[in-house]
A and B are shown apart, each in its own frame.
Chain A
Amino acid sequence: MNDVLLEVDSVTKSFGDIVALSGVSAEFRAGEVVGLVGGNGAGKTTLLRLLCGLYRPTSGSAKGFIEGQSVDIYKMRDVVGVVPEATGLYARLTAWENIQYHSRLNGIPDEVAWTRTERFAKLLDFDSDLHRPTRGFSRGMRQKTALLRALSHGPKILLLDEPTGGLDVTSARMVRSLVRRLGDEGGTVIYSTHNLAEAQQVCDRIVIIHNGTVRADGAPEDLMTETNCENLEEAYVAFTGDVARTNSPVEDEGRIARAWRRLLTKRGGSSE
């Protein structure tokens, strides 16, 4: 069995009264492409943010492993590349400057980062756009830039939050193909998606998250066998039979703002 690189154990994460994750346990091993599958507000992004140390668990533990030694998950950032859902590019910088900024913050010399970027950019058919300002980039171009940025420091683990969301067919195929290739080359990719067909095509293992809990964890074939279903979609429905919650983790709006809103809402005669 491959080495465990990331592990969450009985993790609960709450935002005020809202429980985004409840008792979640999972392991992520070297060389695996793992799909985090779930609906909107299921807790996929929260789990990814816990895995890259942006969130601290309310209870339970999130750990990383370097050469078999358990370390604080925050220390895994040197070996983790992240593509958030919002991509997060600076519009006045070129694609390469965006990548270069992050690789410098990762302590990677420009020449090394450029060599890696150029290699992956060719795979994504993006090498001719590297010196263009990202202002005006299409969703696909932004996603490719963010992916190259995450790969520029040669991470052991890649965390992707809905990387094909909003992409056209060709771009989505390129991203999937790159992810699969990284997995085949021994890289670890944790990949959140709504798209079951895509997860089945790309991932070695699927973790189904629903209402903040892990409902299933295994290879796509195993999940279908376990539920006696012919396809993954039916298996997903079998695992997530209950109604999805409608509340998702929202940012605390602040005490004064909340009190003011409540005051106005009451005056308006409508309930919250």
Chain B
Amino acid sequence: MVLLSDKKRHLSRVIIVAKKELVDFVRDWRTVLAMILVPLLIFPAIFIALPLFLQGEAAELSAYELSVEVQGELPEDLSAHLDGRGLVITLSELTVNGTLSEPGPDADRLNSEEGVHAILRLRQVDSNASQSWYYAILSDSTDELSLEAKTRTLDAVLTWESDVINATLAENNLTREEAFDPIHWDGDQGAADVASGGDLAAMSLAMFIPLVVAMWTTTAAIQPSIDLTAGERERGTMEALLCTPTSRADLLFGKWLAVAIVACVSVLGQMVGLLFAVNFLTGGGLEAPSISTTGILLLLLSVILFAIFVVAIELAVAVRAHSVREAGSILGPMVLIFIGPTLFAQFVNLQGIELWWFVLPIFNITLAMREALMGIYDPVHIFMWVSTSLIYAIGAIWWASRQFNREDLVESLS
């Protein structure tokens, strides 16, 4: 009974500390922005807003009427292809005797205010084919309009070339498929894949989720870890806190809980943003991933164990630091230690995977997440990653609590 009430008292103090830290976080708009809004919006911004913006910019460029000078004889077929592309064509004689790509004096004309955005040089050559030409398009790659003029002209030339090839093949009684694609797939390649849409969605998630979890758990926990340890020391709040009857272990667990909640909300926000962006890009046709309840539970367990491990390590490192600046300069590069193995583990073949991969810290959690998402439930693998991750998590907490028991923790750094 005494033990129970003692446990209750400890738990209540842990919750008091965690609640206060969360209130403190929420009242800081910068933290809310960095921890909640940025993770939520980063993938939609990258996958939706950026392409939309680029499309808008491309449309803006395509509205321009651009001037192209054609040097040499302009075949009628090509002239027809150049029409309707927003190009004003002027004709002039080809004065170049050597290689067509050598700009010569025309370089100055492209760079001047003369208004020529690109120059198409054409020279017909003797050949067995019905038509054969050399060509070059002079343009300035640092000038957006010149580049756009080149793109439109090149597109017209390539379409014309395709027509010429087809005509030559026709003269020899050949079709394009017979000449260039004599062995070809029959029907839709996607239809031949027996994997369901749900399986494919789960596989796609297995490529993203471990990386998102690793990156965002580690980065999201940095700022609160520093704020709650080195920050408290620097502001002089730690000494007053340590004078209360709350044990240091309770204080540490309360702070850990608050950081873990912030990190998890942050990761969750990023996943929601990612799924929204992917769903948007696939036109809302993204099928629900086929993940069983076991898979979801294993995924959650792996995320929780990873969060316990990462947050405890970051808290311990931040406690050891002598200032907020020092804590930041150590924890910033430390993110690579977590992200590197995660990235590496993405390329490990799950088929016939060696058991020792599930013992290595960070690798084991990444592989566990991939297996859970892909519906691979090997009891030996699960035992290995759960037990080793537990050991690492307990070890990290033990180290953090040792750091939190340091006598110099009371020293104000300010």
Contact = CB atoms under 8 A, between A and B. Distances in A.
B322 A92 contact: no
Interface string B22-53: 01100110000000000000000000000000
B236 A84 contact: yes
Interface stretch (B76-84, B281-289, B406-414): B406-414
B131 interface: no
Given A86-B239, A88-B240, A90-B24, A251 B245 contact: no
Contact of B240 (A55, A97, A146, A253): A146
Nearest to A78: B245
A22 interface: no
A105 interface: yes
Nearest to B26: A92
A214 interface: no
A56 B322 contact: no
| Most-contacted residue by chain B among A80, A84, A89 (CB, 10 A) | A84
Contact of A90 (B237, B407, B414): B237
Given A49-B410, A86-B412, A54 B243 contact: yes
A175 interface: no
A92 B27 CA distance: 7
Interface in A26-66: 49, 52, 54-56
Contacts of A254: 322
B242 interface: yes
Given A88-B240, A92-B24, A251-B411, A107 B245 contact: yes
A77 B322 contact: no
A65 to B, nearest CB: 17
A252 interface: yes
Interface string B229-257: 00000011111111111100000000000
Given A77-B245, A105-B244, A93 B23 contact: yes
B236 A77 contact: no
B20 interface: yes
- Counting chain B residues whose Cβ lies within 8 A of the other chain, the interface size class is 20 to 34
Contacts of A56: 407
Given A251-B322, A254-B322, A102 B9 contact: no
A88 B16 contact: no
A231 interface: no
B322 A88 contact: no
B177 to A, nearest CB: 69
B243 A52 contact: yes
A49 B238 CA distance: 13
Interface in A77-99: 77-78, 80, 82-93, 97
Contacts of A82: 239-240, 243
Interface residues of A, number: 34
Interface in B196-243: 235-243
B152 interface: no
A18 to B, nearest CB: 13
B238 to A, nearest CB: 7
A177 to B, nearest CB: 23
A25 interface: no
B13 A105 contact: yes
B324 interface: no
A91 B24 CA distance: 9
Contact of B9 (A90, A101, A107, A146): A107
Contacts of A90: 20, 24, 237
Contacts of B245: 77-78, 105-107
Contacts of A252: 408
Nearest to A79: B245
B189 to A, nearest CB: 58
Nearest to A100: B20
Given A105-B13, A105-B246, A253-B322, A88 B236 contact: yes
Contacts of B16: 101, 104-105
Interface string A227-266: 0000000000000000000000001111001000000000
Interface of B: 9, 13, 16-17, 20, 23-24, 27-28, 235-246, 322, 407-408, 410-414
20 contacts: A56-B407, A82-B240, A84-B236, A86-B235, A86-B239, A87-B236, A88-B237, A88-B239, A88-B240, A88-B241, A90-B20, A92-B24, A93-B24, A102-B244, A104-B16, A106-B244, A107-B245, A251-B413, A252-B408, A254-B322
Given A105-B16, A251-B413, 8 more contacts: A55-B407, A77-B245, A84-B412, A86-B239, A88-B235, A90-B24, A106-B245, A257-B322
Across chains A and B, which 6 residue pairs bring their CB atoms closest together, nearest first?
A86-B236, A88-B240, A82-B243, A88-B237, A77-B245, A105-B244
